[in-house]
Amino acid sequence: MGRKGWGPKGLPVSVGERLDAIGQVVTETSSHLCWKPANHRMSLQWTAVATFLYAEVFAVLLLCIPFISPKRWQKIFKSRLVELVVTYGNTFFVVLIVILVLLVIDAVREIRKYDDVTEKVNLQNNPGAMEHFHMKLFRAQRNLYIAGFSLLLSFLLRRLVTLISQQATLLASNEAFKKQAESASEAAKKYMEENDQLKKGAAMDVGKLDLEDAEAKLKEENKNLKADLKKLKDELASTKQKLEKAENEALAMHKQSEGLTKEYDRLLEEHAKLQALVDGPMDKKEE
């Protein structure tokens, strides 16, 4: 647009010319937005976040496989490579959480930015710009889902690994207490047989042994053995309760992960439908 008809300060001379100039600028800007080719590819950072989300889903499904025992996972967790990763894992986890939180905040900001754009900007002169803003809003919502689920699965994966490790430790403790209780039971049975033999020997040789002292000694030994056996039974019962609690928590986490996987599949289907709805008008327009 030329400079003819403009005042000394660069403004139209009359109100009509000013309105015509503003209308022309709006039309040129809207046409530029309308004919700008749409890029449907995700940016590099969101591609990385989506890849990380897929890796988290795969890891959760892998940890929920039923035929891999917690002992096997514990051996994997205790390997040198995993221990080396865990050494720097806390710092990496904090940095990852901060990055995901910032991405969630950025996605929410983008949604708020394009949510009420039709109320703030008049797009009647160019309906194609509305489609452009809808595409921006759709991408912001998609980014929010990706970052939000990545953040949620980060906590879920960390908690699931902790529960599997605790369950493996409880199983090992349970087996150790069970073996200890069996050995104590065998020792108690052996001591009782020896006590019976001592009683028989004391009855046969009353003159040589003091029967009262022998019975008192036997009672004391029996009392100690019963106390030890009771202590082992209590420890075994406590370990069994802890093991049941850990199994219930692991089952609840498994159900929660399945629910999250189903919800993620549903969101992917909605994403595909919305992508098809958005690509349809764009393809028609390009034709």
Per-residue pLDDT tens over the stretch 116-141? 665 555 555 656 666 777 788 888 88
Residue 93 included in any domain? yes
Q: Look up the domain containing 77 and give its range.
A: 37-197+206-286
Query: Is it the case that residue 151 has pLDDT exceeding 60?
Result: yes
Domain count, the chain: 1
Residue 48 included in any domain? yes
How far apart CA 114 and CA 49 sit, in angstroms, is 22
Q: Which of 192, 243, 249, 252 is nearest to 222 (CA)?
A: 192
Residue 27 included in any domain? no
Summarize pLDDT for 77-118 with one digit per residue, the tens: 777 776 766 677 778 888 888 988 998 898 888 888 877 665
Residue 155 included in any domain? yes
How far apart CA 274 and CA 282 sit, in angstroms, is 13
Is residue 50 within 8 Å of 107, Cβ to Cβ? no
Q: State the pLDDT at residue 29.
A: 44
pLDDT band at 207 (very low <50, low <70, confident <90, very high): low
Residue 13 included in any domain? no
Residue 146 included in any domain? yes
Q: Which of 156, 151, 165 is nearest to 59 (CA)?
A: 156
For residue 170 the two structure tokens come to 């409880």
For residue 47 the two structure tokens come to 């591609």
Burial class (CB in 10 A: 0-12, 13-18, 19+), 185: middle
Summarize pLDDT for 252-268 with one digit per residue, the tens: 888 888 888 888 888 88
Query: Is it the case that residue 194 has pLDDT exceeding 70?
Result: yes
Residue 11 included in any domain? no
Q: State the pLDDT at residue 14.
A: 52
